[in-house]
Chain A
Amino acid sequence: DAKTTQPTSMDCAEGRAANLPCNHSTISGNEYVYWYRQIHSQGPQYIIHGLKNNETNEMASLIITEDRKSSTLILPHATLRDTAVYYCIVSGNQFYFGTGTSLTVIP
């Protein structure tokens, strides 16, 4: 499975866009990029995933670079409830989570 690298922590002002980066330079051609988040000690929650094209849903947007070596999760208007740990995962046969990015949304 491809490894991912994420910043340990980030802050974002409430109402602003939160841009969370992820590097996955060893990604294979058939591996998807997934984003999950974990609020406090709850079970992780699926956010979005993609293969090559940019994706958008009601929660977020996913921007994947053309070479697929990195991606950015965008929360367009961050709220206090978006404070969580965000995990970027590249899936092969298993889903390996790293330590993620701890996002703090500041009032």
Chain B
Amino acid sequence: DSGVTQTPKHLITATGQRVTLRCSPRSGDLSVYWYQQSLDQGLQFLIQYYNGEERAKGNILERFSAQQFPDLHSELNLSSLELGDSALYFCASSAESGAATNEKLFFGSGTQLSVL
């Protein structure tokens, strides 16, 4: 158990809909990262938050947004869903901001999103 909790584990929805994925980081970790993993691709970095502030942005679509709350949990919002958004979405946490280069990421078990 990594200590990172993601809910829900599975989500099935229709095209055009909006969903929210939730992540609770390990106790004490200030950074939260979101990744997307499609069948034909590796892990794609989406976005990182550190202590409530956006720290880095990767290949995140404009239809997607995220935030980190004062209690440090994070939510990834996916809107106007398309078939191609079907994927595993992972959350990871770390203690530091990411500006340092000596830190480990701890991953949750992921949310499997199926858009029908």
Contacts and interface: CB of A to CB of B under 8 A. Distances in A.
A-side binding surface: helix, strand, loop or mixed?
loop
B2 A49 contact: no
**B interface residue count range (under 10 / 10 to 19 / 20 to 34 / 35 or more):** 20 to 34
Contacts, number: 63
Contact of B104 (A31, A49, A87, A96): A49
Nearest to B94: A95
Interface residues of A, number: 25
A7 interface: no
Interface in B33-60: 33, 35, 41-45, 48, 55-56, 58
Contact of B105 (A38, A92, A93, A95): A95
Interface of B: 2, 4, 33, 35, 41-45, 48, 55-56, 58, 88, 90, 92, 98-99, 101-110, 112
Interface of A: 30-32, 34, 36, 38, 41-46, 49, 51, 87, 91-100
